[in-house]
Amino acid sequence: MGLRDIAIDDVKDLLHMKVDLFGALRAVAGRAKEIHEKEGVETKPAPPAPKRRGDEAGPAPKPMRQRRLPVPHLAEKPPLPAELHTAIEEIALAKNAVPTAAKLVIQKELYDTDLSSGHNRLLIPFNKIENDFLTEEEKQHLLGEDENGKKRFLEVRIVQPSMVSEETVKLCRWDMPKKNGKTSSNYVIRGNWTTIVKNNNLRLGETVQLWCFRVDRELCFMLVRVPRNRAS
């Protein structure tokens, strides 16, 4: 074999090697393509587009909590009329004393039991009282009993709505047990209360006020009618 034959054989070997290398590259490229087509190219997911109102139905938004407005009083409480202030001053003048300022005890609608002669009393529930009107000594007196075991009372004067005259009545305290085990506490005006009802023609559903004042430390009351247009 001469030099020429050796050179030709080397060229053939080199060509054969290139063919094999080219085939291997083609095989690798083909395999990569198959993997790419089968599994897909891994990419980062695109951020979701912002939703617009109406694009799709979703949970309804929570309604805004409305601000609760204060509940108004069911009935206006008018002040004591000027002419009744004058009447209080005249009562005090007769005793040569200076009266205290009048305080509203209760404003209430009259019920059947407030007008019934069989009950003969005006009920003053503790939870409806507008202003404290008794001294501590008077409160303790009403909690006690007399020598006969009867509840004590206070004799007080009350100016009637007609303002024609005064009436002496009894102020008592009643503590009545309820079915739930609690106690309902009330003050009551008794004695000549039915006389006041008849003399002043007090009616069912009518609204009245009970005011208190003191003359020379004596407890006095004044019963006042509330006009219908002021009580509603």
Instruction: Collapse the DSSP code of 12 into the 3-class scheme (helix H, G, I; strand E, B; otherwise coil) and give the result.
Output: helix
Tell me the HSE value of 178 on the side-chain side, using a 13 A CA sphere: 7
Both tokens assigned to 213 = 């004042």
Is residue 72 one of the residues assigned to a domain?
no
Distance CA 158, CA 160 (A): 6
Domain range enclosing 7: 1-37
Residue environment code for 24-46, b if the CB has 16+ CB neighbours within 10 A, otherwise e: eeeeeeeeeeeeeeeeeeeeeee
Domain count, the chain: 2
Same domain, yes or no: 122 and 209: yes
- Residue type present at position 96: N
* pLDDT 10s digits, 95-118: 999 999 999 999 999 999 999 999
Distance CA 188, CA 173 (A): 6
* pLDDT 10s digits, 134-193: 999 999 999 999 889 899 999 999 999 887 678 999 999 999 888 888 889 999 999 999
Residues 194 and 117 sit within 8 Å (Cβ to Cβ): yes
Same domain, yes or no: 119 and 221: yes
